[in-house]
Amino acid sequence: MAIVRKLHQATLSELPAAGVAPASPTQQWLKSAQTKKRLIEGAIRCIVKFGYSRTTTSRVAAEAGLSRGAMLHHFENGEALMRAVIAELNDKRLRAIRRTGDMDSRGVHEVVRTYWDQLSSSSFTAFHELSIAARTDQGLAQILEPAQAEFRERRYALSIEAFPEWQKNRTNFDLALALSQQTIEGMAINRLVHGLDEAMVEPLLTNLERQIQELKPPAD
């Protein structure tokens, strides 16, 4: 049984933000935020283990080591939980971009390999599972689609901020960004469905690095 039952649209800014603390968080707020975090991570693990269609509120509660009543105290239904899960998955991807921008050495090789490592994680597996399920689950689609539109905008703005040296040639920047996203995400998806020859991973990443390096603006 799919965990989403109702049909409501939500943007990332409307999703539950367990990790955003008030100016002076109380112990009760901190405890509640920790419990929400456990439930969100438990839901992600369930999606990876069982798939979206077999992820239920009872399974999530058990995975998080909590009662179903405790889960419903923090998330009134499966839809609310899925909104928080999608927000967390998107935030994880945005945090990875920020970390890349903060790297002391962020040449093309390091950026490509960091992105590949990110998409080899269980978080990407969960995201892909949700994306596939949303194709035929209208309730999930109405949550995922606006969240993804907002995510793409935030990812692009953050990428501009993280790589200012590319902004001398925005056309090449956009092409390099699209090339890396389509290639690496395509590889990650094919790996999930056993369509990627592992022997080709290194040659493909190396070829991608060469193409991006050719697009990179020369240093001043």
Helix (H) or strand (E) holding 215: helix 201-215
Cα(93)–Cα(100) distance, rounded to whole angstroms? 11
| Residue 220 covered by a domain | no
**9-50 residue pLDDT tens:** 333 333 344 455 666 778 887 888 899 999 999 999 999 999
**Residue 185 belongs to what domain range?**
12-215
Task: List the chain pLDDT tens, one digit each, 220 residues.
Answer: 456 643 333 333 333 444 556 667 788 878 888 999 999 999 999 999 999 999 988 899 999 999 988 888 898 888 899 999 999 999 998 888 887 767 656 689 988 998 999 999 999 999 999 999 999 999 999 999 999 999 999 999 989 988 888 999 999 999 999 999 999 999 999 999 999 999 999 999 999 999 999 999 987 6
| Residue 4 covered by a domain | no
Cα(166)–Cα(203) distance, rounded to whole angstroms? 25
CATH number at residue 129: 1.10.357.10
N- to C-terminal Cα separation, the chain: 57
**116-126 residue pLDDT tens:** 999 999 999 99
| Residue 1 covered by a domain | no
Length of the chain: 220
Is the CB of residue 14 less than 8 Å from the CB of residue 147?
no
| Residue 5 covered by a domain | no
**Number of domains observed in the structure of the chain:** 1
Burial 169-185 (b: 16+ CB within 10 A, else e): eeeebeebbeebeebbe
Cα(103)–Cα(110) distance, rounded to whole angstroms? 9
Q: What is the CA radius of gyration of the chain?
A: 19
